[in-house]
Amino acid sequence: MNNKVIISCAITGAMHTPTMSDALPITPAQIAAQSIEAAEAGAAIIHLHARNPADGEPTGRPDVYSQFLPQIHRQTAAVINLTTGGSPTMTVADRLAAAIRFKPEMCSLNMGSMNFAIFPAANRIKKWKFAWEEGYVRNSDDFIFRNTFRDIKYILETMTDAGTKFEHECYDVGHLYNLGHFLDNGLVKPPFFVQLIFGILGGIGAEAARLAKGTLYLYFQSKDAIYQATVQQAVTKLATLTEERMRNESELAGKLAAFISVRIDFWNDQQQLYRIILSINRQEQHRKRSIVWQRETALYLQSMYADAAKAGEIPDQDFLAAAWTTIDAIRGVNERRAYSEGRSTEDDTKFLTAFLLRALRTERVDGL
């Protein structure tokens, strides 16, 4: 069996901003250096965008590309793949300008128009490095990433004449049918390179792959690796949703209701994922890791309860024990909801909030 793979490395992309990571290369020297390092590490294809060297804003200017492309050509044998997607804020002409000038071996080609959104990420950032970043990220709720049939045909006809091959980027199922259209009409000929992108807000979700076993083990070496990646994604998303929903709550009752409703809503939407986590979690090593993640949540709740006690909302008590009780109560509701029909999210949230508040206030809960 031939297990060789082709590794394609996108060096800087166009959606992340400098504030999101200090490791993001934005200057020509940084882009060249990381491209060369990627090739030395085994990347066969280097997927390249350009950035304004002064502030990292995406640019399609060929004169910026000219500051790093020659060095990458000289010092690697990698296939150079220039973007024609640029960024959602660029015109098609701007996106294609560098490819027309440099006539690379390969270009990316987005196979359909779509909403392309990263605006939820803006809520996690308090201070931005450059003036352009916040508007770029927040305003992506109004981005339409244009790739019409006419645009795609124009790019195909323009770059095919230069001998360029394409990386067909597909963010949704319809994009595969668009590729089929161009195949049927002779503008695309096999064999072709298709890049499937999951998880962009506006495109197909990562869970749409249905976590098929055969597909998973192409990318994960063990159940442990699958469990870690799956649960860590859920933990990160839950933290973001919790922060967003609790932002305007000042009293414990509102904070607790927000905390509970986020977890009920999340697992209500992700019941298939929840069943997988419950199944894999039966193994001892996974239970240990799950406890570590749950302890982080318990410490978060402990701090929230301690703050409420300082404000006089609840009496002083063992807040860590109260935090674990809260986690167990929510888990019990979610396990029931995962396997049977239950009450609405609103009803379950109201019940759990009332139950936990009375327990925290050391009141008797009627009917239990």
Instruction: Answer for the pair 318, 298: CB distance below 8 angstroms, yes or no.
Output: no
Query: pTM of whole model > 0.85?
Result: no
- The pair of structure tokens assigned to 245 is 């929903």
pLDDT, position 224: 64
Q: Is the pLDDT of residue 272 over 60?
A: no
pLDDT, position 1: 44
CATH number of residue 160's parent domain: 3.20.20.70
pLDDT, position 365: 42
- Give mean pLDDT, residues 333-344: 69
Q: Are residues 199 and 236 in the same domain?
A: no
Please indicate, yes or no, if residue 217 is contained in any of the structural domains.
no
Q: Are residues 30 and 162 in the same domain?
A: yes
Please indicate, yes or no, if residue 3 is contained in any of the structural domains.
no
Mean pLDDT of all residues in the chain? 85
pLDDT, position 292: 72
Q: Are residues 186 and 264 in the same domain?
A: no
Q: Are residues 14 and 132 in the same domain?
A: yes
Helix (H) or strand (E) holding 48: strand 45-48
Q: Is the pLDDT of residue 204 over 80?
A: yes
Q: Are residues 168 and 247 in the same domain?
A: no
Q: Domain range holding 177?
A: 8-209
More confident residue, 117 or 223: 117
- Give mean pLDDT, residues 37-47: 96
Over the stretch 283-305, which tens digit does the pLDDT of each residue have? 555 556 667 777 888 999 999 99
Q: Are residues 239 and 118 in the same domain?
A: no
Instruction: Answer for the pair 323, 361: CB distance below 8 angstroms, yes or no.
Output: no
pLDDT, position 270: 62
Please indicate, yes or no, if residue 216 is contained in any of the structural domains.
no
Helix ranges, 161-251 (H) = 173-184, 213-219, 223-246
**Number of domains, the chain:** 2
pLDDT, position 231: 66
Show which of 209, 237, 263 is a domain's final residue. 209
- The pair of structure tokens assigned to 2 is 């031939």
More confident residue, 312 or 368: 312
**How far apart are the C-alpha atoms of 37 and 25, rounded to whole Å?**
12
**How far apart are the C-alpha atoms of 164 and 159, rounded to whole Å?**
6
Show which of 186, 209, 232 is a domain's final residue. 209
- Give mean pLDDT, residues 148-153: 97
Give Cα 168 distance to the centre of its chain: 20
Q: Which of 366, 359, 353 is nearest to 318 (CA)?
A: 359
CATH number of residue 268's parent domain: 1.10.357.10
Over the stretch 346-363, which tens digit does the pLDDT of each residue have? 888 998 999 999 989 875
Percent of the chain whose pLDDT exceeds 70: 82
- Give mean pLDDT, residues 247-270: 86
pLDDT, position 182: 93
Q: Is the pLDDT of residue 49 over 70?
A: yes
Q: Is the pLDDT of residue 344 over 90?
A: no
Please indicate, yes or no, if residue 106 is contained in any of the structural domains.
yes
Give the confidence band of 155 by pLDDT, cuts at 50, 70, 90. very high
